[in-house]
């Protein structure tokens, strides 16, 4: 099966009202779609990069489903102190060595949280209303510790208050009548989070001695120009992580700024070829269109 681009929710500040809406916990993990055909299960992330090797726990999925083919949409999460940790998921996600992955299964156990069914027994279900797709999920999957079906709640406001109180990321509200648009994004799926986040491009680095202290971040505009949105460090990354990052960035140093709107140099600063991506959280946008209090959560591959 060829990997698809998944349907994405739009950001919202207002929780929708109406009987057609349900809400689900927005887990702070990585989007993973599972494809099963001809007795073979493969996993791909939202960018179409294969992740079958990284999550061997999910290989038991076909034994839990009565069907000869399917495509499921979900999220892989890892808990740290009872709260989903994107950083720990990325520690699993970026590994390619089988021995290391097997060791990390004990250190960083994961759960596959499934929230949609797109294809089943040779038939596409993307035009089928969400409420029916969810009914089919509950009918066809027997949950385990590693594989779960995301719960849906009718009271969107109460769920949002509960997840914020528990330190979770937020909620996704979905119209029960919505179909699933491949590569689409519209208001029938809405996400409301306690803080904002995005995937940013790394374009520069400031050093503390021989190690990186912070990274210059940007996003591409509609003209394909890389726009600077701020610089950030991370309390999430360990000293070992920064050493690994520094080894990578030392190989992609360039003379000119990759940013369209930023060329100010600091001491012990280097420009980098814009080939690395990070997930960054922040409180809000400033008047200068930069992030307030940004924190790098992890590198994204």
Residue 300 neighbours by CB under 8 Å, 6+ apart = 90, 199, 277, 278, 279
Q: Once rounded to an integer, what is the mean pLDDT over residues 123-136?
A: 97
Q: Hey, what domains does the chain have and what are their CATH numbers?
A: 8-193 (3.30.470.30), 196-300 (2.40.50.140)
What's the predicted TM-score (pTM) here? 0.74
- In this predicted structure, the answer to whether residue 211 has a pLDDT above a threshold of 80 is yes
Specify whether the backbone of 47 is left (phi greater than 0), alpha (psi in -120 to 50) or beta: alpha
The confidence band for 1, taking pLDDT boundaries of 50, 70 and 90, is: confident
Strands 8-11 and 185-193: parallel
Is residue 266 pLDDT above 70, yes or no?
no
List all residues 6 or more positions away from 103 whose beta carbon is below 8 Å from its beta carbon: none
What span, in angstroms and rounded, lies between the C-alpha atoms of 54 and 130? 29
Q: What is the mean pLDDT of residues 71-92?
A: 90
Over residues 213-227, the mean pLDDT reads: 92
């Amino acid at each position: 099966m060829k990997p698809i681009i998944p349907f994405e929710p739009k950001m919202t500040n207002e929780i929708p009202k109406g009987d057609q809406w349900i809400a689900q916990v927005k887990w702070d993990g990585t989007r993973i779609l599972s494809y099963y055909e001809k007795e073979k299960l493969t996993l791909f992330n939202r960018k179409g990069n294969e992740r079958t090797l990284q999550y061997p726990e999910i290989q038991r999925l076909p034994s839990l489903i009565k069907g000869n083919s399917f495509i499921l949409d979900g999220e892989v999460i890892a808990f740290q102190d009872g709260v989903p940790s994107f950083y720990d998921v990325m520690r699993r996600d970026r590994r390619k060595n089988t021995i290391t992955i097997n060791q990390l299964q004990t250190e960083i156990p994961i759960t596959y949280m499934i929230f949609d069914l797109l294809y089943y027994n040779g038939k596409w279900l993307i035009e089928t209303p969400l409420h029916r797709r969810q009914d089919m999920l509950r009918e066809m999957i027997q949950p385990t510790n590693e594989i779960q079906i995301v719960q849906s709640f009718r009271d969107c406001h109460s769920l949002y208050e509960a997840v914020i109180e528990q330190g979770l990321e937020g909620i996704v509200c979905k119209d029960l009548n919505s179909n699933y648009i491949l590569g689409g994004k519209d208001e029938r799926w809405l996400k409301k989070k306690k803080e904002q986040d995005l995937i940013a491009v790394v374009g520069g680095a400031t050093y503390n001695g021989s190690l990186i202290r912070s990274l210059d971040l940007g996003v591409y505009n509609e003209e394909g120009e890389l726009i600077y949105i701020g610089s950030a460090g991370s309390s999430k990354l360990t000293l070992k992580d920064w050493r690994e990052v520094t080894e990578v960035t030392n190989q992609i140093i360039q003379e000119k700024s990759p940013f369209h709107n930023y060329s100010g140099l600091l001491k012990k600063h280097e420009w980098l070829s814009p080939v690395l991506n990070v997930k960054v959280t922040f409180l809000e946008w400033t008047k200068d269109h930069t992030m307030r209090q940004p924190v790098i959560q992890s590198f994204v591959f």
